[in-house]
């Protein structure tokens, strides 16, 4: 398995603060290749021996802006069983509903664009419903919960120029942890 040739922007890159533009269909061949490369990269980052071989950080999601392209596209690769993966390709997402229940990732959220230790919690909705399009331009609705809900919200934030560190209270990084459920 060969590592796809992707350059992931670092948090210092101002492009990460851009609001991404809606995608028009049909998507280009280049977009299809980028999407496949992103999915492959994330999958490889979740397989221990490949992560070590290529010195990767494990990642679950990647938005288009993280590879320097301001289009409203993100992908999520969810390991459902040992080396079995579910791929999500989400184009022009809109959150149409969200649970009132808030959750946070106990060990802290991570991001392939933030290459440093971060402390604090990021409040996320436990469940969200998203309307989006697939690679062929077909509309669909998906309801995600728990880890997937966190990943989808994290990537949608990227499309809006927001990094997860923006959501951590610098004065009180664990603020309101007692009012949310840890996952």
pLDDT 10s digit of each residue in the chain, 183 long? 789 999 999 999 999 999 999 999 999 999 999 999 999 999 999 999 999 999 999 999 999 999 999 999 999 999 999 989 999 999 999 999 999 999 999 999 999 999 998 999 999 999 999 999 999 999 999 999 999 999 999 999 999 999 999 999 999 999 999 999 999
pLDDT of residue 76: 98
d(CA 107, CA 86): 23
Among 73, 10, 80, residue whose Cα is nearest residue 43: 80
- Cβ contacts of residue 99 below 8 Å, gap of 6+? 125, 126, 127, 128
Q: Which domains does the chain have, with CATH numbers?
A: 20-182 (3.90.45.10)
Given the residues 22, 79, 109, 155, select the one marked as catalytic.
155
pLDDT of residue 1: 79
pLDDT of residue 61: 98
pLDDT of residue 55: 94
As a three-state string, the secondary structure of 25-82 is CCCCHHHHHHHHHHHHHHHHHCCHHHHHHHCCCCCCEEEHHHHCCCECEEEEEEEEEC
Is residue 158 helix, strand or coil? Answer: helix
pTM (predicted TM-score): 0.96
d(CA 98, CA 173): 23
- 81 in active site: no
Is residue 183 helix, strand or coil? Answer: coil
């Amino acid at each position: 398995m060969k590592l796809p040739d992707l350059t992931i922007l670092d948090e210092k890159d101002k492009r990460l603060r851009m609001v991404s533009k809606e995608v028009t269909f049909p998507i280009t061949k280049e977009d299809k290749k980028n999407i496949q490369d992103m999915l492959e990269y994330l999958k490889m980052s979740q397989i221990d021996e490949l992560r070590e071989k290529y010195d990767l950080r494990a990642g679950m999601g990647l938005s288009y802006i993280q590879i320097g392209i301001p289009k409203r596209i993100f992908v999520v690769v969810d390991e459902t069983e040992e080396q079995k993966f579910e791929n999500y390709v989400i184009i022009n997402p809109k959150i149409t509903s969200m649970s009132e229940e808030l959750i946070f990732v106990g060990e802290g959220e991570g991001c392939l664009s933030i290459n440093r230790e971060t402390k604090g919690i990021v409040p996320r909705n436990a469940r969200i419903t998203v309307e989006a399009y697939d690679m062929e331009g077909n509309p669909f609705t998906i309801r995600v919960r728990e880890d997937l809900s966190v990943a989808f919200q994290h990537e949608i934030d990227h499309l809006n120029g927001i990094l997860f560190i923006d959501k951590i209270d610098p004065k009180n990084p664990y603020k309101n942890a007692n009012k949310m459920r840890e996952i």
